[in-house]
Chain A
Amino acid sequence: MGMLSAFANPHRFLALSHWLAPLFYVVGAALIAWGLWQGLWVVPKDDYQGGDIMRVMFIHVPAAWLAMASYSAMAAASFIWFIWRHELADIAAKAIAPLGAVWTVLCLATGSIWGKPTWGTWWQWDDARMMSVLFLFFLFLGYMALRAAMDSRQKAARAGAILAMVGALNVPLIKFSVDMFTSLHQDASVITADGPKMAAVYLWPLMMSGLGHSLLFGALVMTLMRAEIWTRRAARQRARLLAGA
């Protein structure tokens, strides 16, 4: 807990993120570019996975990972705020929400585009995987709307944290939806109990692309957290000025 408190200091966070965020931007962008190059130009098409259309995997799968990981991170940060009231945890949860929504939209849209030539349909309303990811998107939107509707920062943090923690139940549902329910979506092929079922020629670019998306996402979260810290400081300064006037 002491270590957590040390990292939860906004001054330390600003000093750390000052050099860590640019590093994450550069390395993340480089890895995404490498994954893109591998996915579009280098790896052979897989006729068992529908031919060239499987190249969508190098953007769709990292987007899906980030959608679930970002919601989990938002719920974890909300939990930390709820229990220990660390302001930085609330700032982190607030910063993750819009970015998580972006990656979830990317997952939904690329999945839908991939689905048309593969399954013959853009969308299936009774498909558990598709609907649970759509629900995840609504959870991100609901979290942002709920916070915006509150008249104080404390109420916004509390209401947002409760929604984020309750909504976290949806994350394992997404992961296991293809096992528990009938779905057009294929079974897990990377994160499985028996290890990856994918050939190394596809797995490495996919993993590197996933790491690149994660680093870029981390850099964006740090940037939004810095912005929120500055905004809160400006608000406190404004309040001090008004009180002194």
Chain B
Amino acid sequence: MMELLPDLGKNAAYIWACYGLGAFLIGGAVVGTVLKARAAKAALKRMQASDEDAA
């Protein structure tokens, strides 16, 4: 497994920290955005269903 990773020399910890942080922040933004969109769509569908029931 370890041999698959590139040899980044003495600053490897700094480099991996940057890419790890990037994965965390961008991954978090993607997950948060998709969940928010799903929740908004579900709320609109519920509201439309209530509207139809009322009609």
Contact = CB atoms under 8 A, between A and B. Distances in A.
A182 interface: no
A213 B55 CA distance: 46
Interface string B18-41: 110110011011100110110111
A231 B40 contact: yes
A106 B36 contact: no
B9 A52 contact: yes
A223 interface: yes
Interface size class of B (residues with CB under 8 A): 20 to 34
B22 A59 contact: yes
Nearest to B5: A40
Interface string A32-56: 1000100011000100001111011
A224 B43 contact: no
Interface residues of A, number: 43
Interface of A: 25, 32, 36, 40-41, 45, 50-53, 55-56, 59-60, 63, 98-99, 102, 105-106, 109-110, 113-114, 116-117, 216, 220, 223-224, 226-228, 230-231, 233-234, 237-238, 240-241, 244-245
A52 B40 contact: no
A237 B11 contact: no
Query: Closest 10 interchain pairs by CB?
Result: A227-B40, A227-B37, A230-B40, A234-B44, A237-B47, A52-B9, A53-B11, A230-B44, A110-B18, A234-B47
B25 A59 contact: no
6 contacts: A110-B21, A114-B18, A117-B11, A227-B36, A230-B41, A231-B44
